[in-house]
Each structure stands twice: as structure tokens, then as C-alpha cells.
Amino acid sequence: MNAFELLKEDHKKVAEIFAKLEETTERAVKTREELFGRLQTELEAHAKVEEQIFYPAIKDAEETHEITLEAFEEHAVVKTLLEELASEPKETEEWSAKLKVLRENVEHHVEEEEGEMFKGARKVLSREQIETLGARMEAAKKEEKKAAAG
């Protein structure tokens, strides 16, 4: 699987979890905890492979330098929100509001990544590099999820 397909697949999976979470109410604590756990695992594994494999491959190119630096900063915001959401009670309105902020941040990030970043990355990476990056990221994600589950 190439790098772009893998990342888009991740984005879709995260959007589906967000949609399910948004349907829950403050009374559905167990469901929220289970869905949030999945969301956190997906986002953390995704961010890690991007930061360690994908972004380094494109960050030095003029076409992708600025957007990659911005992406690292967006990841930092997402990680902070994830930490806060993980440690706060899931049955509050504040938790729901913070989840919405997280979703908005992730959606903005996805939009820029699939738009500007991918467009620039296609200019600086060969087909072979795109495939190699995809394979490396897929393997790293499997390891990351195994470690998170383990």
C-alpha cells in the first residue's frame, strides 16, 4: 500500500470513530471510554509513523517544508488534547466540548495533509519512495498497535 493510501485509510477510520463518539451522550460512559480508547490508539499510532517516517522524507523539500513543520505542531496540539481527554471524566459536557475541539483540529489537519501536503509530496517523492514509505509505515503501525495492546 502506498503512503498516501495508508494515511487516507487512517483518516477515514478516525473520522468514523469520531462520528460514533459524537452520537454518544454523557450517560454512555462505557461506550465513550471504549471508543475513545480506540480513537487514542489510532491517532497516536498514526502520528508516530508520520513523525518518524513520512514527515522526515518530505520536510527538507521546499514544496513541503512549511506544511510539514506546521503538521508537527498540529500533532503536538492533538497529543495534548488526547492526554487531557484521557484523564478527564467522560460523562461531562466539558469532555464533549473538548472532544469537539479535538475533532476540529484533526479535521483541519487532515484537510491540509490530504490537500497541500500530499500535493507537494507527490512532486518530491518517486513512486518507489511512496510505496516504500507506505510499507514502512504499515509495518511500524502494526508494531505500535501491538505495543499499545500488549
* pLDDT at res. 76: 97
Contacts for 60 with CB less than 8 Å, ≥ 6 apart:
none
Q: Is 92 left (phi over 0), alpha (psi -120 to 50) or beta?
A: beta
* pLDDT at res. 144: 85
Burial class, 23, CB count within 10 angstroms (exposed 0-12 / middle 13-18 / buried 19+):
exposed
pTM over 0.85: yes
Quote the domain boundaries for residue 53.
Answer: 3-149
pLDDT of 14 above 80: yes
pLDDT of 146 above 90: no
pLDDT of 150 above 80: no
* pLDDT at res. 6: 96
CATH number at 27 reads: 1.20.120.520
Could you give the number of structural domains in the chain?
Answer: 1
Mean pLDDT of the chain: 95
